[in-house]
Amino acid sequence: MPNRATVTLLGLLLAGEAEHMICLLINRGEISLELPCDLEFVMMALPERTVDSKFPAGFSDDSADREPVATNSEQKAIENKSLKASFLTSFFTSTLSIFERRSDSFSVAKKPIKSRSYGWTTAVRKVVTSGPMKRLQERILGTSRFDNLSMTSQIWFLGKCYKLSLEESSQCSDPVNSYAAFLDDFSSRIWITYRKGFEPIGESKFTCDVNWGCMIRSSQMLVAQALILHHLGRSWRKPLQKPYDLQYVEVLHLFGDSSTCAFSIHNLLQAGRGYGLAAGSWLGPYAICRTWETLARANKEQAEHDRCKESLPMVLYIVSGDKDGEQGGAPGVCIEVAARLCSDFSKGQLEWAPILLLVPLVLGLEKINPRYIPLLWETFTFPQSVGILGGKPGASTYIVGVQDEKALYLDPHEVQPAVDIRRDDSEADCTSYHCSTVRHLPFDMIDPSLAIGFYCRDKGDFEDFCSRASQLADSSNGAPLFTVVRNLQPAKPIPCHVRTHHTRGIGDTSVENLSDIGDQVHEDEWQIL
């Protein structure tokens, strides 16, 4: 007798009182889902909603009935679980977004519908908007309302602290730390989501990345934030009026959905073929980090021969403890490697260069080890933070901040039409690249496979990062996220008590003085996950 329970999706939805058991079975991998043909017909017949730029959606048929292709080694262990979670993610996101009533975001056109279809549509609407159904959605996708954020607890958002207060309206409140200031900062980050209607990817017929492109989109958001920091600075905010700054428009152009755009989904898939990437396949954080490394290298080589080609204006350093990023052990940020990468990047003309560090990690098996949660939380206090690629199994998001035990994120699981933003168009419609909806989920529900990003503008910024990272490793009780080492062999963690003439407030370490560090290695610094 098979040990896997098979249930009908409509029956699952109607059994609202069994939502906790359903989630438990899904997490254990003991449940498989079948979509009744009648319900499938209804879902395909549902009218697309008319939306504004802040809440674009609608479920695209471009990915319907497509079989995901073989995936890389990192994803095989969680393939079945991820596919189920991905299906549920797509179903809840698109179905609930169709029926949720948001007076400021969409309206449903009234059209004559046959009685049978109308009856099915009415039944589905009642199911997906019911209380049990919404609670089930929140268990799987996380909370999507920002009204649950505390108005008294501080928010750390990409290296900036917002100390909120219930007395914001008073004359004594600090507008810089107000909730409105936080929302302005949040909505200024580049939001990249599923798109439909773009040119086919390579030789495939995919013109939409619904159900499989969320990790790629999350990584694009992280790199876009690094580019915004590089070109416009941390204090930059989304323009309120046109014409826009062309530097901002050019950043958006780089992530357009066309093979002519340097960091498009098309070019990422092409660069990631060696890591198992293909249109329609799901991938993990390590594979996407290495894909960016490959793409950045290829673009730089092309730009050296053709000045019209765009390339990443910074060093990309993938900090990994082993060759495939899956075997555990705390990776080390190596000062020697960083210096060599900077020299290679500038062809020896500059001593240092801007660096984007990506640190792929596996912090547990099925769930994240609780001992790492405070360390992940602390990384958002680093001024070099550009967020985390993470989320739930099969549902990648771009985590950008923390409050108490909540992780705040930008969600790529919205379907928007593809847009073409020319790099010289200061009047372009850029509204679909920003979102003001703050979503969050409990930190302990994050998938243990993730990648942390840091951007260091110059050598001094890198030294400050090393100081903070060393102190964080020293406070980890023998289980650091990553360490800072002088060279690769042997690996020597840098103790945070080292000080130099640079006064930065947290465990200051200077690259010039790394030679003065002792050779001691703490055996408990390295942990097998």
Higher pLDDT, 87 or 218: 218
Per mean pLDDT, which range of 95-109, 132-146, 358-372, 485-499 is the poorest?
95-109
Per mean pLDDT, which range of 134-148, 333-347, 395-409, 448-462 is the poorest?
134-148
Radius of gyration of the chain (CA): 23
Active site annotation includes 411: yes
Mean pLDDT (whole number) for 487-498: 56
Q: What pLDDT, on a 0 to 100 scale, did the predictor assign at position 265?
A: 97
Mean pLDDT (whole number) for 275-283: 89
Q: How far apart are CA 276 and CA 269, in angstroms?
A: 9
Closest CA to 160 of 383, 327, 344: 383
Do the Cβ atoms of 440 and 142 come closer than 8 Å? yes
Beta strands in 146-243 (DSSP E): 155-157, 160-162, 194-196
Question: What pTM value is reported for the model?
Answer: 0.70
> pLDDT tens, 31-81?
444 344 333 333 333 333 333 333 333 333 333 333 333 334 333 443 444
Q: What pLDDT, on a 0 to 100 scale, did the predictor assign at position 314?
A: 97
Per mean pLDDT, which range of 58-67, 335-344, 485-494 is the poorest?
58-67
Q: What pLDDT, on a 0 to 100 scale, did the predictor assign at position 31?
A: 46
Residue of 413, 425, 430, 466 marked active site = 413
Q: How far apart are CA 521 and CA 138, in angstroms?
A: 44
- Flag whether pLDDT at 98 surpasses 50: no
Confidence of residue 246 (pLDDT cuts 50, 70, 90): very high
Confidence of residue 202 (pLDDT cuts 50, 70, 90): confident
> pLDDT tens, 102-120?
333 333 344 444 445 445 5
181 vs 102, 378, 387, 439, CA distance in Å? Answer: 24, 22, 19, 17
Residue type at position 126: K
Q: State CA 192 to chain mean position distance.
A: 10
- Flag whether pLDDT at 332 surpasses 70: yes
Q: What pLDDT, on a 0 to 100 scale, did the predictor assign at position 152?
A: 85
> pLDDT tens, 389-412?
998 888 999 999 999 999 999 999
Higher pLDDT, 489 or 308: 308
- Flag whether pLDDT at 527 surpasses 50: no
Confidence of residue 413 (pLDDT cuts 50, 70, 90): very high
**What angle is formed at CA 451 by the lines to CA 266 and CA 144, rounded to 5 degrees?**
85
Per mean pLDDT, which range of 35-39, 136-140, 165-169 is the poorest?
35-39
Mean pLDDT (whole number) for 92-107: 41
Closest CA to 466 of 319, 328, 287: 319
> pLDDT tens, 6-34?
444 444 444 333 444 444 344 444 444 43
Active site annotation includes 413: yes
228 CB-side CA count, 13 A: 24
Average pLDDT of every residue of the chain = 74
Question: Residue 459's CB: how many other CB atoms inside 10 A?
Answer: 20
Which segment, 104-113, 145-154, 204-213, is predicted with the most confidence on average?
Answer: 204-213
- Flag whether pLDDT at 334 surpasses 90: yes
Mean pLDDT (whole number) for 341-366: 93
Which segment, 127-131, 134-138, 221-225, is predicted with the most confidence on average?
Answer: 221-225
β-pair type (155-157, 395-403): antiparallel
Instruction: Give percent of the chain above pLDDT 90.
Output: 51
β-pair type (160-162, 155-157): antiparallel
Do the Cβ atoms of 439 and 425 come closer than 8 Å? no
- Flag whether pLDDT at 91 surpasses 80: no
- Flag whether pLDDT at 323 surpasses 80: no
385 vs 332, 398, 509, CA distance in Å? Answer: 17, 12, 18
Instruction: Give percent of the chain above pLDDT 70.
Output: 61
Token digits of residue 56: 């674009």
Q: How far apart are CA 363 and CA 428, in angstroms?
A: 42
173 CB-side CA count, 13 A: 17
Helix axes of 79-99 and 131-141: crossing angle, nearest 10 degrees = 140
Residues 6+ apart with CB under 8 A from 38: 120
Closest CA to 82 of 211, 196, 220: 211
Residue of 208, 214, 435, 496 marked active site = 214
Residue of 209, 411, 464, 508 marked active site = 411
Which segment, 149-153, 283-287, 492-496, is predicted with the most confidence on average?
Answer: 283-287
Q: What pLDDT, on a 0 to 100 scale, did the predictor assign at position 66?
A: 33
E strand or H helix at 485, and its extent? strand 483-485
Mean pLDDT (whole number) for 466-490: 91
CA distance from start to end of the chain? 35
Q: What pLDDT, on a 0 to 100 scale, did the predictor assign at position 488?
A: 74
Higher pLDDT, 148 or 5: 148
Mean pLDDT (whole number) for 469-473: 97
Q: State CA 6 to chain mean position distance.
A: 32
Helices (H), 367-491: 373-379, 459-474
Helices (H), 100-164: 115-128, 131-141
Higher pLDDT, 149 or 3: 149
3-state DSSP call for residue 413?
A: coil
3-state DSSP call for residue 362?
A: strand
Most distant pair of Cα atoms in the chain: their distance: 81
